[in-house]
Amino acid sequence: MKIKIRLYLFFFLIVLFNGCSEKQPKEIKKIVLLGDSLMSGYGLSSEKHLDKILQKDLNLSGYKITIINKSVSGDTSSDGLARLDKILEIKDTDLIILGLGANDMLQGIAPQKTKKNLQEIITNIKNENIEILLAGMKATTSRGLSYKKKFDEIYPELSKNNDIFFFPFLLKDVALNPDLNQSDGIHPNFNGVKIISINLKKSIVELIK
């Protein structure tokens, strides 16, 4: 009898331990986009902006998520940091997609300064217990290979050092494709935005799981 009781207790503890150790899905209901013109919808009508497309894609996949776009064309990492307090005042934000740095690169701002600004943004967001999805950027070679190397290293290092979710390149499958960009060759057109949305949706779904 004592042996049976011990066996029941043993199996009960195994079930209890396994149940506690399972990774719990994250509840994401509200996402804020914090970026520049690449996420703000530059050159596109409002119904074609990333927030609208991404929210629709997520909703069609069964996720009841609201997207708020707080991206501003022309913003550098310094600009994003300067207005972060206002963004953190948005109630019930579960996730912030951070996509700043492209304008830093275009202006030739020192990569160490960009990294410092992004680190401060990340720290402040984490202090509010808000999840972060860092959308990386890659530099062109126009400022030299040394600059490109230092800039490109910013995002994977921040992701690793802060243990945050990471999408390596915001413009994956879109950059340098004339069919997916506006006439300036920089900003995504509607078809480009749709691809960015699909890529980000995959990362968000992975984050939730």
d(CA 30, CA 157): 27
b/e burial code for range 37-57 (CB count within 10 A of at least 16 → b)? bbbbbbbbeeebbbbbbbbeb
Of 40, 57, 75, 187, the catalytic one is: 187
Give the domains, in start order, of the chain with CATH numbers: 26-208 (3.40.50.1110)
**Catalytic residue (choose from 92, 163, 179, 184):** 184
Task: Check if 184 is active-site.
Answer: yes
- Rounded Cα gap, residues 64 and 118, in angstroms: 29
Tens of pLDDT, residues 122-145: 999 999 999 999 999 999 999 999
How confident is the model over 147-166, as a mean pLDDT?
98
- Concerning whether 37 is annotated as a catalytic residue, the answer is yes
- Catalytic residue status for 49: no
HSE-up of 155 (CA within 13 Å, CB side)? 25
- Catalytic site residue from 36, 37, 51, 75: 37
DSSP letters along 38-73, please? HHHTTTS-GGGSHHHHHHHHHHHTT---EEEE---T
**pLDDT over threshold 90, residue 209:** no
